Amino acid sequence: MKRAYDVVIVGSGVAGIAAANTLAGHGLEILVIDENPHAGGQILRQNCRVTDGFWEFDPRLGRSGRTVSIRKIVQSLRPIQRPKGITCVHQARVLGIFSDLQLLVHVPDTLYPGGSGSGRVLEIDAGYLLLATGARERCLPFKGWTLPGVMSLGAAQILMKSSGILPARKTLIAGTSPLQTVLALEILKNKGNVTAILDENHLTKKLGLLPLLKHHGSLAGEGAMQMLRLLIRQVRFRQGVRVTEARGKNGLSAVVTAGLDRKGNTVPGTFQTYPARALAVGHGFTANIELPVQAGCALDYDADRGGWVVRVDDALETSVAEVYAAGEITGIAGAGKSFVEGKLAAVSILEKLGEKTGPDVCVPELVRMQKQQMGYASFLNQLCQVPSSAYEAIDDEVLICRCEEISMGEIRKQISQGFVTGGSLKKATRCGMGRCQGRICQPLLFDILQALTGQTPEQIGSPSFRAPVKNVPLESFLHP
């Protein structure tokens, strides 16, 4: 590993890989950093479990100009020899971005053997920086959501994809996310059982959102096919149902649900209990904006893109010069958009460097495709969105900040005392000051503030982050 690179790419998901592929072959020194043990980000993790090579998408992918489907992305990925000039480090974390694009990076001992077991922190200079840090899931809290056995939909998927282990013999699936069906199919494929899918959305809401998919026929088709396969497998599927409580002593043993009316309010007398050792639940996604915020990149709030996202221009440059962003962090719209943006950001950087890009890459065409892919965002994020009544209905005893163990009751109290901005509520409650630095509770707090106070996003304010954006052993700083 060198101490300076022409381009540093943070994240090796679909966006990061697509960008690296496009940048390769121009004589540039490129560093790809990812904190995961393997490349692939959130959807390719199973496909990328090769150790020393690299990956490439079939260069024909996306050339037709039509929307790129997840299936095609997965199918067109292939392992290749690591191209010259590309260095790829895993289990390494970018902790901060400082002036002149100096990065603070934590690398594991495997790269610098003989250490203390806590790795070390290095400074690396980047000529250009591409942030492709992806997204994480959101979850609407309920009583007992901190019990072992309650996990995100992605966590259940990751257990299977990365380690070949089922979340439980029988898994209960809930929430509003399209990952529910993806997960259910994955579990069935692996010979596990799905107790039921408890979808909070009523069929009418879903039908109402269909017009948003008019340019995304293939995605609508994929969704329909998934449903059909689940029906054939006779998976129990209930709509308009929300988890209200997870029960158990030191781990999950049962889940209580309630039926919802059209507005999303729970209907008295519709409670039902399911025995369960694993509950996978999710309510959509939120962008991993911590690093860009720390770097000073401006944000935009757009509920249709998943909340706070990184502001970029047509070339995907952020408000900080020479820092580009691609993939879910500019708007949650799935793998197709991440692919197109990875490519577009790379081409923009190549153009800035005065490099000739191949005859098959045409910037206006990529920009058009990017806008087209972004069209899926409204459908996806509206589908996942939880009505404000759901936040109003959270019981006082439910923990909102899992790290600092701050309850909804405390949050209500401080809101009523006048702490109604994101920043002041954090100060008054400690919500978001713990280990995860608000990654789980800040988006929630934001939605709670919107629901309880009716303020605009600008009034509530965007979150702030400082280096290190992830916890890092203090010891790792002691080696210069």
Partner 1 sequence: MGNTDTDLRIACANRGPKITLQVDGVPCVAYEGETVHAALLAAGIRALRIAGKTGESRGIFCGMGICYECRVTINGVPDKQACMTIATDGMQIETR
Partner 2 sequence: MGSRVPHIVVIGGGVIGTSIAWHLAKKAARVTLIESNDLASGSSGACDGLVFMQSKKPGIHLRLAMESLKRFSDLKKELPMDIEFRQAGGRVVIQTPAEYQAMEQFVQAQQEIGLDVCLMDAKDTLAAEPFLSPDIYGSTWSPLDAQVNPIKLTLGFALGARKNHACIMTRSPVLGIHTKNNRVTGVVTTKGEMAADMVVNAAGARSGLIAQMVGIDLPVRPRRGQLVVTQATSRMIFSCMISAGYIAAKFDPSLADDAGEGMSMEQTDNGNLLLGSTREFEGFCTQNTLSGIRRIISRTTAILPALTRLQVIRTFAGLRPFTPDGLPILGPVASMDGFFMAAGHEGDGIALSPITGELVADMILGQKSAIPLTPFSLERFTTPKGQAHG
Ligand X SMILES: Cc1cc2nc3c(=O)[nH]c(=O)nc-3n(C[C@H](O)[C@H](O)[C@H](O)COP(=O)(O)OP(=O)(O)OC[C@H]3O[C@@H](n4cnc5c(N)ncnc54)[C@H](O)[C@@H]3O)c2cc1C
Give CA separation, 65 vs 10, 358, 362, 384, in Å. Answer: 27, 16, 11, 28
Q: Is 435 in the site for partner 2 (CB under 8 A)?
A: yes
For residues 469 and 255, give the distance between their C-alpha atoms in angstroms, rounded to a whole number.
34
Q: Which of the listed partners (partner 1, partner 2, ligand X, none) does 399 bind, with a CB threshold of 5 to 8 Å by partner kind?
A: partner 1
Residue 91, classified by CB atoms within 10 Å of its CB into exposed (0-12), middle (13-18) or buried (19+), is middle
Smallest gap from residue 402 Cβ to partner 1 (A): 7
Q: Which of the listed partners (ligand X, partner 1, partner 2, none) does 232 bind, with a CB threshold of 5 to 8 Å by partner kind?
A: none
Q: Is 472 in the site for partner 2 (CB under 8 A)?
A: yes
Can you list the pairs that 432-435 forms with residues at least 24 positions away whose Cβ atoms lie under 8 Å? 432/401, 432/404, 432/463, 433/403, 433/404, 434/401, 434/402, 434/403, 434/404, 435/403, 435/471
Please say whether the beta carbons of 288 and 329 come within 8 A: yes
217, containing H or E segment:
helix 217-232
Give CA separation, 440 vs 71, 136, 224, 250, 403, in Å. Answer: 29, 9, 31, 22, 9
* Binding segment (CB under 8 A) for partner 2, from list 23-31, 43-51, 154-162, 432-440: 432-440
CB atoms within 10 A of CB 3: 9
Q: Is 380 in the site for ligand X (CB under 6 A)?
A: no
Residues 257-286 that bind partner 1 (CB under 8 A): 277
For residues 267 and 336, give the distance between their C-alpha atoms in angstroms, rounded to a whole number.
38
Residues 146-205 that bind partner 2 (CB under 8 A): none
Q: Which of 262, 368, 371, 435 binds partner 1 (CB under 8 A)?
A: 435
Residues 11-40 that bind ligand X (CB under 6 A): 11-16, 33-36
Residue 27, classified by CB atoms within 10 Å of its CB into exposed (0-12), middle (13-18) or buried (19+), is exposed
Residue 192-231 contact track with partner 1, rule CB under 8 A, x = bound: x---------------------------------------
- Read off the tokens for 335: 């793998």
Q: Is 41 in the site for ligand X (CB under 6 A)?
A: yes
Cβ distance to partner 1 smaller for residue 45 or 205? 45
Amino acid letter at 397? E
Q: Is 154 in the site for ligand X (CB under 6 A)?
A: yes
For residues 203 and 66, give the distance between their C-alpha atoms in angstroms, rounded to a whole number.
28
For residues 17 and 13, give the distance between their C-alpha atoms in angstroms, rounded to a whole number.
6
Residue 249-288 contact track with ligand X, rule CB under 6 A, x = bound: ------------------------------------x--x
- Torsions phi, psi of 15, nearest 5? -65, -45
Q: Is 119 in the site for ligand X (CB under 6 A)?
A: no
The CA R_g of the chain, rounded to the nearest whole Å, is: 22
* Binding segment (CB under 8 A) for partner 1, from list 57-65, 152-160, 299-307, 380-388: 152-160
Instruction: Give contact residues for partner 1 (rule: CB under 8 A).
Output: 35-37, 42, 49, 91, 117-118, 136-137, 146-152, 154-160, 162-169, 190-192, 250-252, 277, 399, 402-405, 434-436, 439-440, 470-471, 473
Instruction: Give contact residues for partner 2 (rule: CB under 8 A).
Output: 96, 98-99, 102, 104, 116, 123, 404, 417-419, 421, 423-424, 427-428, 430, 433-435, 437, 459, 466-468, 471-475, 477-478
Instruction: Give contact residues for ligand X (rule: CB under 6 A).
Output: 10-16, 33-36, 41-43, 70, 93-94, 132-137, 154, 157, 179, 182, 285, 288, 291, 327-328, 334-335, 338, 469
